[in-house]
Amino acid sequence: MKNKAFRSFIYSTHAFVFYFLLFSAAETRAANFNYVDTTQREPETVKKDTLNTAYSGYKLRTIVVDAGHGGKRPGAYGSYSVEKNVTLALAFKLQKAIEKELPDVKVVMTRTTDDDILWQKRSDIANENKGDLFISLHCNSLADKVVTVRGRRTRVPDQSGRGVLLLVYGFQRHGDETGGDKEQAAAIRENLFEENDVKSSTGVDFNDPTQVILLNAFKNKYRKQSIHFADIVNDEFKFTDGRPSEGVREQSILILCHSAMPAVLVETGYINNPKDEAYLNSEDGQNEIVATLVRSLKIYKKEVEQPN
């Protein structure tokens, strides 16, 4: 009886919410995203965003800053530094800069100590705080090369990597007839519907067309916004700071997939490259990286908050 009642509730609730989001001008957190056209970067298989609607009341209220790695998962190594320390230093500076330059924005940190925070817990922190944007800070590195010297194979450091890389989640790895990644769909569904009966359910019913349409619409919306913010950051690094850049890529990254919001992972530099390592550990280098991210946030905030 309970399952039948719950199924009936799901159908009616999702149908109501779906059409409400499309045609109502009332402010909701889930619909708080103005669509910015990035279709030139879209695969042909991606469906048109069904939530391409402007809402005048939107504000970028909460940014989640994630310092990559920590504890017994130190991340990449340089000659004298380690990723977890660099990312935490950058995260603190970014938190302080956002609070100063964007005082109406709340900053949530996934970690403030050396403690190791599991990937799922980081996403949980972002989702529980109803984040509007998730920024994960990391340092890049290349694996050693195997070369032959006097007939003997040996490993040598590959220090050829330079500059930044922006990663967004590509949900094609779980793509099927339901239209996307079930992990991200579950996270989005958790944030969209706060009724106790819905949140206590076992998950997304991918046999329910209403649920699938609604969740895919938000997944595509968040994906487009992720790409758009990553493009802004990449342009600021590349054209304003003059840093080498590998551009914006889509990858199957769990921490991004489980965050029910636009999310970008920033590889701030190659820590195993001597020049990048010096830059990443210097006060000037860290300040420049933070300034670039804050400039990008201001651009993004202005664009998504203005009505079309």
| pLDDT tens-place string over residues 172-193 | 544 443 334 555 555 555 555 5
Angle of helix 209-235 relative to helix 182-192, nearest 10 degrees, comes to 100
Residue 57: band (very low, low, confident or very high) from pLDDT cuts 50, 70, 90: low
Model pLDDT for residues 74-119, shown as the tens digit of each residue = 999 999 999 999 999 999 999 999 999 999 999 999 999 999 999 8
User: DSSP letter string over 69-84?
Assistant: -BTTB---B-SS-BHH
Mean pLDDT of the chain: 77
Cα dihedral sign, 68-61-165-237: negative
CB 41 within 8 A of CB 227: yes
CB 221 within 8 A of CB 47: no
Domain 2-305 belongs in CATH node 3.40.630.40: yes
pLDDT digits (tens, 9 = 90+) for 3-32: 444 444 444 444 444 444 433 333 333 334
Checking if the pLDDT of 275 tops 50, the result is yes
Residue type present at position 283: E
Query: What are the sequence ranges of the domains in the chain?
Result: 2-305
pTM over 0.85: no
